[in-house]
Structures are given as C-alpha cells and as structure tokens.
Amino acid sequence: MRILFLGDVVGRAGREALCRELPGLRTRLALDLVVVNGENASHGFGLAPEMARAFLAAGADVITLGNHAWDRKEIIPYLEEERRVIRPINFPPGTPGQGAVVVEVPGNRRALVINAMGRLFMEALDDPFRAVQAELAKHRLGQTIHAALIDLHAEATSEKQAFAHSFDGLASLVIGTHTHVPTADHQILPGGTAYQSDAGMCGDYDSVIGMQKGGAALRFWRKMPGERLAPAEGEATLCGLFVETQDATGMARRVAPLRLGGRLSQAMPEG
C-alpha cells in the first residue's frame, strides 16, 4: 500500500496549497491512502466543516485532529455525520466523534487510521498508550486490515519515540504531529513500523510555527497576552511522509519525506 501523511494544515496558505497540490500528488505517487492532520486549518485554530469537505474532495481519505479539535464548535455535529474526520481516541468516554476509522482502499483492501494525543506538556487526557493498544487489538494487521496508521499529536519527542517503539511491529506507521517542524528522523524501526517524530506543517514557514512573526515574537519579549495570533499567508510548503507497505504483513518497506513548495528544501519520493 502506498500511503501519504500530510502534517498540520495551517490557515489559508496551507489549505490552498493542499487543495491545489493533492490531486496531482495522488496521481504522481500512485497513492492508495492519504491522511491529513487538519486541526489548524481554520485561521490556525480548529477545522470548519466546509474545509474538511474541501480536503476530502481534493483527495484526503481521512482527516485527523488534535488539541484544537473543539475550537470550531460547528465541527461537533459534523464529526457524527462524517466518520472520516476523527479526533484523538483518548478523549474521555462520551466525547463526540470517534478516534479511529477503517477505510476501504483500492484493491479490496482496508486501512485503519487512529488519532491519539500525548499527555506530556499537553492536556490531561486518558492514557494514549492503552487506548491505542485496545483499538489495535480489535484488528489483525495483514489479515482483517492491510495497514494501520497512527497520528500521535504530541509535544514531547521522548513521548513520541516511546510510543513508536511500544507499537513497533503492530502498526504500519506512527507519525508525530503538533510541533509544525519536520524532523529528519524518518526511518523503519526494527519491527517494521515506519516512524517520524514530526511530519511538519502544511503552511508558510516564514513564520513562527505557521503564525505571523511579529505578534508571535512579541509574546516572548513581553510575556503578556496580545492580540489573537493570525496565520502567515505567504507561500506554503506541504510537509509530510510517504510510506510504502507490504500488504501481507502491513509492515513498511520504504519511507521518504515530502516537502513541496515554499521556503524549505524540496523533497519528493520517487514514484
């Protein structure tokens, strides 16, 4: 299976780049599954339903969220309507929406996508390790599902690495999101699981993690709250990770970064 994960979409610049480039990327890379983290799409805070619809129409199969999941209140009823948009699985029981989804992919295959959120320097949610373990136990990788992807939305690299090693051999890909900076540690772990500490963002990198530089920097100078931060609106870089898996086992056999457009060095997986 050929999988592309795209990191946090930030603001208008990220949205427009995603919707413009994703249809061509699906063809160019012969993608079977595309997963996008969309939790910062709406002016940097949350995801509006119309934006989710645009991402799905452009070629996303699943959209994941994170700590800004509830910033746009209209997403709450939409999560019950559209199961391809998921929020972290370790929110307490009774939280709207779901934290995992199984989607059909070409070739009569099925892929499991799980969204989880870390707890170190984040909100005090339920344990993501045990929540993901329970979800994975419902499926058989290489049998009932052909791939399993986990988006761990977390601050600390140590938590992300510990999480990935805990599920090495049980998932096709563990990918970190939230910090908006692509890390250079993409790899296949000893048990066959692809991993990267952070996929980076889809947004303008002439910024402070996607937000306009002036207001964001001033907060560090003055240590006082200022006006609401606004996304930078220059040319965006799409950042993500390409993974190719073996259907028989669900394990990764190839992993490569993707960086397209904008200020960062470009990287395109070979077709």
Active site residues: 68
Cβ atoms within 10 Å, residue 45: 17
> Quick one: three-class SS letters along 73-87?
CCHHHHHHHCCCEEC
57-91 as b/e, with b when 16 or more CB fall inside 10 Å?
Answer: ebbbbbbbbbbbbbbbeebeebbeebeebbbbbbb
Nearest to 189 by CA among 133, 150, 142, 134: 150
Angle in degrees, CA 241, 245, 250, rounded to 5: 120
Nearest to 62 by CA among 4, 129, 117: 4
Instruction: At 79, list the tokens.
Output: 């999560």
Say if residues 135 and 101 touch (Cβ distance below 8 Å). no
Phi/psi-derived region of residue 207, left when phi > 0, alpha when psi is between -120 and 50, beta in every other case: beta
Nearest to 89 by CA among 115, 55, 125, 53: 115
